[in-house]
Amino acid sequence: MSNHPTDKIYAYFNGKDLNGLCNRLLSQQIKTWPQLMENYELLKKTKTRTISCNGFTVKIQHNPGRVTSTLADTRPEAIEGRPCFLCLSNLPEGQKGILYRDFLILCNPAPVFYHHLTINSIGHSPQQIEKYIGFLLELTKDLGDGWITLYNGPKCGASAPDHLHFQAIPRGNTPLEKELNHCKKIIMSSSTLHAFIYYGDIQGRVFFILEGNETQALEAAFGGLLHALKSALNTKDEPMLNIACLTREEGLNLIVFPRSRHRPHVFFRQDEDRIAISPAVIEMTGVIVTPLERDFLRLDAKTVESIYTEVSMDKKTLEAIINPA
């Protein structure tokens, strides 16, 4: 433990009741960390509304506290020119977390939901999922069925693409978790891998669902999907993707959203038609966060579907993955 800065550690995970430990962390941090207390008061003032798109639901949330994340400059030169805000030495005074393996579980200082967590790597390593998909699955199991764990790829939602991190949010906040069974279509089942692979298509979002009870089986299935994505896109780098992971009656569900763009064209407009939306994994699960009230008021089903379609993998590439030649 001597390699870890103890002044930033609230507690150590000993293999039991990570959910309870996280609940106690939030209670302690709200009392002792003024920035978090202030931002949770702001969270109470957020506005939400629901719109229906082709029979499915999308929540729109007006959350001014997320403006920094939504508008984050993730160009390489901007990243290189600023201190990494996820490194332990740069964490705000008063912020503490739970040491979980080689990661620190922290309260997200700009929450989208009550009890929004960030899970940061202790070391400064780039945001890449391939070697850490097993970690994400084990984290999901340790947190329990009341949580969804999240990953944003370095080019499609991660505000710190230079530092490995995940997020976790409480179950019950995202429309997609309730709609999975109504949209998934099976691609493959494997008695050898003990996993099922489905795909879904909702409101322009396309995604894969990997389902099973064994972590190793899901790791293998994800590895196969990642290879297929790289082949279809002719790249050796990590494809643009977002991931949500949760436990359901069917077992662990790993939901993978392949992407084609980080932000839609309307984000870059320089006139009154600009819409400040930067889709990340929370948006892909059906909760669109808008820091500006005018966007919150004017978003409609047609615009939402257009944004989802633009930033998601195109149907031709998806078809090449589902039905390879």
pLDDT for residue 5:
63
Whole-model pTM: value is 0.94
Contacts of 179 (CB under 8 A, 6+ apart): 56, 57, 202, 286
Domains of the chain (ranges; CATH) run 6-322 (3.30.428.70)
pLDDT for residue 2:
44
pLDDT (mean) for 48-65: 92
H runs (alpha helix) in the chain: 18-32, 34-43, 67-70, 76-80, 133-143, 176-179, 215-233, 281-284, 293-298, 301-311, 315-322
Under 8 Å between Cβ of 242 and 284: yes
Rounded CA separation 186/135 (Å): 26
Question: What pLDDT band is residue 1 in, cutting at 50, 70 and 90?
Answer: very low
| Nearest in space to 203 (alpha carbons), one of 317, 61, 55, 322 | 55
Q: What is the DSSP letter of 2?
A: T
Question: What pLDDT band is residue 128 in, cutting at 50, 70 and 90?
Answer: very high
Question: What pLDDT band is residue 97 in, cutting at 50, 70 and 90?
Answer: very high
pLDDT digits (tens, 9 = 90+) for 223-249: 999 999 999 999 999 999 999 999 988
Question: What pLDDT band is residue 323 in, cutting at 50, 70 and 90?
Answer: confident
Residue 9: phi, psi to the nearest 5? -105, 120
pLDDT higher than 80, residue 153: yes
pLDDT for residue 312:
96
pLDDT for residue 292:
94
pLDDT higher than 60, residue 306: yes
Helices 133-143 and 215-233, interaxial angle, to 10°? 140
pLDDT digits (tens, 9 = 90+) for 288-298: 999 999 999 99
pLDDT digits (tens, 9 = 90+) for 250-284: 789 999 999 999 999 999 999 999 999 999 999 99
pLDDT higher than 90, residue 309: yes
pLDDT higher than 90, residue 136: yes
pLDDT (mean) for 61-90: 85
Under 8 Å between Cβ of 38 and 121: no
Q: Which of 73-82, 139-148, 299-308 is the least confident region?
A: 73-82
